[in-house]
């Protein structure tokens, strides 16, 4: 057992370099600002105050959350029936359908978004609709795969037992299939909502340059404006929102399992 514990150390080193150190740098920039000739940096909360006091930034945050929530709901509405139909197919057909779902994921997301930009460029639809199309297209496979995994593991004998107890197909689905597939739905929500709320190049490419979300703000303040302190503060706010979202989805999953 001690030998296996040593295998954790490479991951711990990697996590420390790629996750912990960058997060510490973000925290440092978020809580500091440029000083003067005597003190190079000063601790401050001004970056967070600026974000929450300015209605423009609050509106951008609210719009980002709304778009992420709507994208997640659309993915559920499309993904659940798709995953259910695939799970009802024969084993060979299931493998083929899952391959068709995952093949687009082998292409870089940026390339796929550029392709959609070319498709939607000459269509007379609002930038919001274009962004939703790009969001759903890129994140829908995550929802389908998670729900399909839960449905494929479902014991068919439970459905048979429900029919033996007098349930029709609709009642068996509502009382057996749907409750047992909720963990897959929750996992899908996590994998769709989190990248959707922080996405920046999808709205940038498909929104016609006038579509600004929190991810675009962070990119602008780091890359274009060069205000790393304020950009780090926004990043930290988004990190907290993402962690809260993960906690709520996990808690919902645990509560479901406890019943």
User: Would the pLDDT of 3 be above 70?
Assistant: no
Q: Say how far apart CA 67 and CA 89 lie, in whole Å.
A: 33
Q: What percent of the chain has pLDDT over 70?
A: 92
Residue 210 pLDDT class (50, 70, 90 cuts): low
Per-residue pLDDT tens over the stretch 89-143? 888 888 899 999 999 888 888 889 888 988 888 888 888 889 999 999 999 999 9
How many angstroms separate the CA atoms of 44 and 49, rounded? 10
User: 259 falls in which pLDDT band (50, 70, 90)?
Assistant: low
Using the predicted structure, report yes or no on whether residue 147 has a pLDDT greater than 90.
Answer: yes
Closest CA to 184 of 157, 150, 153, 216: 150
Domains of the chain: 58-258 (1.10.3720.10)
Those residues whose C-beta lies under 8 Å from the C-beta of residue 180, and which sit 6 or more positions away, are 150, 154, 158
Angle at the Cα of 78 from the Cα atoms of 217 and 158, rounded to 5 degrees:
130
Integer Cα distance of 138 and 130 in angstroms = 12
Please enumerate in sequence order all residues whose Cβ is within 8 A of that of 40, keeping only pairs 6 or more positions apart, or say none: 34
Q: pTM here?
A: 0.83
Predicted confidence at residue 80, as pLDDT, reads 94
What is the tens place of the pLDDT at every residue in 77-93? 999 999 999 998 888 88
């Amino acid at each position: 057992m001690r030998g296996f514990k040593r295998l954790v150390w490479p991951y711990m080193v990697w996590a420390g370099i790629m996750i912990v150190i960058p997060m510490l740098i973000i925290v440092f920039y978020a809580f500091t600002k440029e000083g003067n000739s005597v003190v190079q940096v000063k601790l401050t909360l001004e970056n967070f105050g600026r974000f929450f006091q300015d209605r423009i930034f609050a509106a951008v945050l609210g719009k980002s959350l709304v778009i992420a929530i709507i994208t997640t709901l659309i993915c559920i509405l499309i993904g659940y029936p798709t995953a259910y139909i695939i799970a009802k197919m024969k084993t060979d057909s299931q493998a083929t359908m899952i391959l068709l779902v995952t093949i687009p994921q082998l292409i870089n997301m940026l390339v796929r978004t550029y392709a959609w930009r070319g498709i939607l460029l000459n269509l007379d639809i609002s930038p919001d609709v274009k962004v939703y199309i790009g969001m759903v297209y890129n994140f829908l496979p995550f929802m389908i795969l998670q729900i399909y995994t839960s449905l494929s593991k479902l014991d068919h004998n439970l459905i048979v037992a429900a029919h033996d107890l007098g349930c029709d197909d609709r009642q068996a689905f509502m009382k057996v299939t749907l409750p047992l597939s909720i963990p897959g739905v929750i996992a899908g929500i996590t994998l769709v909502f989190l990248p959707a709320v922080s996405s920046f190049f999808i709205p940038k490419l498909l929104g016609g340059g006038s579509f600004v979300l929190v991810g675009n703000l962070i990119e602008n303040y780091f890359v274009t404006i060069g205000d790393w302190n304020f950009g780090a503060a926004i990043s930290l706010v988004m990190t907290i929102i993402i962690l809260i979202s993960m906690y709520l989805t996990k808690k919902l999953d645990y509560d479901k399992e406890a019943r």
